[in-house]
Amino acid sequence: MTSINRLGFKQLDSDEFRDTSFDQGRPDNRPFLGDLQSLSTRIAAVQEISTSINRSLKLDEILKVVGQQAKWVLDFDQCSVCLCDRLSRRLVTLFGSPVPDAEIEASSPLDRAIQTKQPQIIRDRATTQADAAYRSHIIIPLESEDQVLGTINFALRQENGYSQEDVRIAYLLALQVAAAMRNAQRFEEMNRLYAELQHTHTQLKQAQGFRDELMHMIVHDLRNPLSSINISLDMISMMATDPDEQLHWLELANVASQTMTGMIDDLLNLNKLEAGKLKLILRPLQIGTLMLGKYESYAVRAVGEHKTVTLELPDDLPSLLMDVELIGRVLDNLVSNAFKYTHPGGQIEISARADETYLFVYVRDDGLGLPPEYRDRIFDKFVQVTDASGASLRKGIGLGLAFCRMAIEAHGGKIWVDSTLEQGSTFAFTLPLSLG
C-alpha cells in the first residue's frame, strides 16, 4: 500500500522497501537535526538538477546532466536508465561501467518496476548475472501522465548501501527526470509534425506551381489547333471564288478541329482510365478498317507539312474485340507525335501484322528520336524530354503517350518504343486477339 506524503511523492509502506537503520538509538523515531539538514540539502540539490535538465528539450542532453549531477543527491557506483517504448526497452549507462546490451528478463526487478510502476530496492544481491559486481540497487520507474517512460537505476558494490530516505530522494529525482523526458518527447513530436507540415506545404506549393504550368501548357496546346481553324476560316472567306482552295483550307480546319477535340478527350479519358472508371465499349473490328479510315486525314496533313506518310497492311489481318474509339485515339496520338518530330521531307510509316496470339501495330518515323534515358519514362504522365539546360525538346504537356499506355494496357496489350537520336523512333503496341 502507498500514500502521498507532504513532500509530494509516494510513501512506501511495504516491508520490502522499509529501511530501519535510522530507528536504532531513537525510540521516539524522531530524526536528528543533522538528518533533517541533510534531507533539506538533498531536496535542494534535486531542485537544482530539475532546473538544469529543464533547460534542454533534447533527451541525450537531459540524460547527460543527470549522469553528471545525480551524485549531488545519491551515492552510487553505477547509474543507468532504461528507456521504454511500445516495441523495445533500451538500457543506457549514465555513470560507471557500461550496462551490457542484454534483454531485460521477465519478472526481474527492473521488469517489476516497469510493470507495477513501483520502486524496487535490492540490498544484498545482484539483479542479473551481468551486474554481479553490484549488491545494492534502487530502481525507480520514470512515470509521467500514467505512462512508464522507463526506469532510473542506481547501484552500489556494497550490501545494504541504500536507506529508505535514499529511495525517497531517488523517487523525487525520478519525478523530475520523467517530466523532463516527457517534455523532450513532446518537443521531438512537435518537430516531427512541423517537419511533416513543412514537407506538405512544399508539396502543395509544388503542386500549385505544377498546376499553373500545366494549365499554361494545356491552354497553349489547345490554342495552336484553334489558331489553325481560325486561319483556315479566314482564308476560306478571302478565297470565296476558288472552290479548290476553299476545300483545302476546310480540310486543314477539320484536321485542327479533330486534333483539339482529341486532346480534350485524352484529358477526360486519362482520368477515367487512371481511376479505373472508364468502361471499354468492345466490338469486333479488323484493325485495317480503322487504319484505312484514318489514313485519309493523315495524308492530308502530310501534304500540308511536306512529309510522306505510308500505310502497309497485309490482307489476312484478323478481326478482334476492341474499343474502337480508344484505339483510334492511340493511333492518332502516335501518328501525331511522328508528324511533330519529323522534319519536312521526312517519312512516316504505319503498319500492322499478327501472329497466333497478338496483333502488332507500328508507327515509324525518321525524325528527332529519343535519348536512351527517356525510352522507359516517355509513357509516364507529364514526362517531357529536355536538353542539358532543362529546356523542353518536345512539344505538348506529356499526357498523350500516358493515355496511349493506359488505353492499351486496359485492353491487355503492351506499348513500347525503339528510338535512336536523330534517326527516328518506332512506337509499337500489341492487342490480344482474344480477351478471354
Other beta carbons less than 10 A from residue 182's beta carbon: 16
Of the candidates 317, 307, 403, 382, which has an alpha carbon nearest to the alpha carbon of residue 347?
307
What predicted TM-score, i.e. pTM, was given to this entire model?
A: 0.47
Give, to the nearest 10 degrees, the angle between helix 324-340 and helix 287-304. 30
Cβ contact 314:276 at 8 Å:
no
Looking at residue 417, its pLDDT comes to 93
CB-based contacts of 180, cutoff 8 Å, min separation 6: 50, 53, 54, 56, 62
Length of the chain: 436
* Distance of alpha carbon 335 from alpha carbon 429, whole angstroms: 13
Instruction: Summarize pLDDT for 369-407 with one digit per residue, the tens.
Output: 888 887 778 888 756 665 444 445 455 556 778 888 988
- The predicted pLDDT at position 1 comes to 39
pLDDT per residue, tens digit, the chain (436 aa), is 344 343 333 444 433 443 433 333 344 444 455 567 778 888 888 999 999 998 888 999 999 999 899 998 999 999 999 898 877 888 888 998 887 766 677 778 888 999 999 999 998 887 766 677 888 999 999 999 888 999 999 999 999 999 989 999 999 999 999 999 999 989 999 999 999 999 988 888 877 766 666 555 555 566 667 777 777 777 776 765 677 777 777 777 777 777 777 667 766 666 677 667 678 889 999 999 999 999 988 998 899 899 999 999 998 899 999 999 889 989 998 998 899 889 999 999 999 999 999 999 999 999 988 888 877 788 887 566 654 444 454 555 567 788 889 889 989 999 999 998 889 999 999 999 986 5
What pLDDT, on the 0 to 100 scale, is given for residue 241?
67
**Per-residue model confidence (pLDDT) at position 347:** 96
